[in-house]
Amino acid sequence: MKYHQLPQALFEKNRAKFVAQMKGKSLAVFNSNDMYPIGADATFPFEQQRDLFYLTGVDQEESILVLFPGAVNPKHREVLFVRETNEHIAVWEGPKLDKDQATAVSGIETVYWTHQFESVFADLMSEADTVYFNTNEHYRQAVETETREERFIKKVKEHYPAHTAAKSFPILNAIRGVKEPEEVALIAHACGVTEKGFRRVLGFVQPGVWEYEIEAEYLHEFVCNRSKGFAYTPIIASGNAANILHYIENNKQCQAGELLLMDVAAEYANYSSDMTRTIPVSGKFSERQRQVYEAVLRVKNQATELLRPGILWAEHHKEVGKIMTAELLELGLLDKADVQGQSEDRPAYKKYFMHGTCHHLGLNTHDYGELKTPITANMVFTVEPGIYIPEEGFGVRLEDNVVVQEQGAPKNLMKSIPIEAEEIEELMNNRKV
């Protein structure tokens, strides 16, 4: 791991929150992700299953956590299983966690090897009536691959048909959505790494550079700062490519006079940041580009202000829609007839702003978190309005990451990342050549 070890107290708190919501005589199991194949002997770099990471800090394959608060043997109230290491693995893959290290990372005293799981689990199941399964019910999930967790669930259902099944997801969705101070600090750290990348790129972009060269500049800065790299596939979109919302080719040459939309951010210790900035390739916005840019910035600032405890996520987006509608009228992109003819399901602004304003941010870029109950303090959201105008050859999106406060406006974790048009222009024009 490139990141510095995280405080085990964070994982202890997270487990305590999960266990507090479990039914009596129940245990919960969390499996790590598989190593996913590419072909031949190649695999994708390992990415830990985020719930297991959230509860243990263990960032290693073939790990399993069992939480069983009512276990007869107090040693079995929390049990961690990690892959047994040996000299061969140490030579070929490098060091894996030994039992003491696994305890140091997670705060879990009882650590067994993964190959001991079946027998320990059978013993624990004989004391339990209910087993919590960790199904993925995230509102945007569309996974076709059968995960290690799903294979485990199938097996348990077959071997233990008399146990009652319960869902871990609703508990995790609720607790992961409200961040601990340590988590806010990690997201803020990731934002800081992203800022370094953006400042580097402000000194690099000029007519003639290629989108992939910009991608490389970011990656260099991210990895130099102990990040694995991008928190999600970066979008580096010059000119009209900004109007393709998920443009990830990043293979065009940036032309003088174009705008460049960059939705690029670093991860740190598995925590995401999620930034979008839009800059002029030549270092100066045209009058029209600037007009649209300022409109998006105003919407972003007002949308941020509105993100307070008590408001519903869907209501917030509706309010932002009204602000956006006023800006689009002012820009001449909508007229009164468009607005009069709109319906609740098909508001006129969607022609130019067709995605959501906010999503939870954390261990996943589109993180877990309640969306149907009122927003509460210490939720971390993106705020990311955009105006996309294919007929004018450009699109503008601005995206910051904010923490909802008990009182007052949210705290912007990207406050120091340049966003005012003058500052962007100044930094681009005063760069060292």
Give me the residues that bind ligand GLY (CB under 6 A), please: 232, 263, 274, 359, 365, 384, 399
SS3 track for 201-238: HHCCCCCCCEHHHHHHHHHHHHHHCCCCCECCCCEEEE
Residue for token digits 């509105």? 306
Name the residue nearer to Mn ion (CB basis): 211 or 274.
274
Q: How far is the CB of 355 from ligand GLY (least distance, A)?
A: 8
Q: Quick count: other Cβ atoms within 10 Å of Cβ 429?
A: 11
Integer Cα distance of 325 and 278 in angstroms: 21
| Residues 281 and 256: beta-carbon distance below 8 Å | yes
> Between residues 308 and 366, which has the closer beta carbon with respect to ligand GLY?
366
* Residue numbers at the binding site for Mn ion (CB under 5 A): 263, 274, 382, 399
The minimum distance between CB 235 and ligand GLY, in angstroms, equals: 7
Q: Which residue, 280 or 386, is less far from ligand GLY as judged by CB?
A: 386
Tell me the backbone φ, ψ of residue 385, rounded to 5 degrees: -75, 160
From the list ligand GLY, Mn ion, none, partner contacted by residue 78 (C-beta under 5 to 8 A by kind):
none
Which strands sit side by side in the sheet containing 400-403, from one edge to the other?
A: 380-383, 400-403, 411-412
Binding-site partner at residue 217 among ligand GLY, Mn ion, none, CB < 5 to 8 Å by type: none
Closest separation between CB of residue 139 and Mn ion, Å? 14
Based on CB atoms, which residue is closest to ligand GLY, 168 or 401?
401
With beta carbons less than 8 A apart as the criterion, state whether 135 and 28 touch.
no
Q: In the complex with ligand GLY, which residue's Cβ is closer, 234 or 283?
A: 234
Complex with ligand GLY: residue 262 or 375, whichever CB lies closer: 262
- The binder of 232, among ligand GLY, Mn ion, none, by C-beta within 5 to 8 A per type, is ligand GLY
**51 contact, one of Mn ion, ligand GLY, none, CB 5-8 Å limit per kind:** none
Which residue is closest to ligand GLY by CB? 263
- Cα 95 to Cα 3, 84, 101, 367, 372, distances in angstroms: 16, 11, 11, 31, 44
What's the closest the beta carbon of residue 300 comes to ligand GLY, in angstroms? 13
Q: CB of 246: closest distance to ligand GLY in angstroms?
A: 9
Tokens encoding 126? 């004989």
Smallest distance, ligand GLY to C-beta of residue 274, A = 5
> Would you say 133 or 218 has its CB closer to Mn ion?
218
Give the pair of three-digit tokens for residue 208. Answer: 């003639």
Please identify, using beta-carbon distances, which residue of 169 and 232 lies nearer to ligand GLY: 232
Decide whether 33 or 365 has the Cβ nearer to ligand GLY: 365
Q: Within the chain, how many helices (H) and strands (E) appear?
A: 13, 18
Comparing CB distances to Mn ion, the nearer of 49 and 382 is 382
99: nearest Cα among 88, 113, 87, 86: 113
Q: How far is CA 319 from CA 205, 324, 325, in A?
A: 35, 9, 10
Query: Could you give the CA distance from residue 129 to residue 124 in angstroms, rounded to a whole number?
Result: 10
Separation of alpha carbons 228 and 265, rounded Å: 11
- The amino acid at 389: I
Beta carbons of 124 and 71 less than 8 angstroms apart: yes
Q: Which two tokens stand for residue 137?
A: 């019910």
* The two three-digit tokens of residue 209, written as one number: 């550079």
CB atoms within 10 A of CB 257: 15
CB of 277 to Mn ion, least distance (A): 10
- How near is the Cβ of 31 to Mn ion at its closest, in Å? 28
Report the 10 Å Cβ neighbour count for 326. Answer: 15
d(CA 52, CA 369): 16
Distance CA(367)–CA(50), nearest Å, equals: 10
Provide the minimum distance between the beta carbon of 148 and ligand GLY in the complex, in angstroms, as a whole number: 26
Compute the Cα dihedral for 137, 6, 71, 161 and give only its sign. positive
Taking the complex as a whole, how short is the minimal distance between the CB of residue 197 and ligand GLY, in angstroms?
A: 14
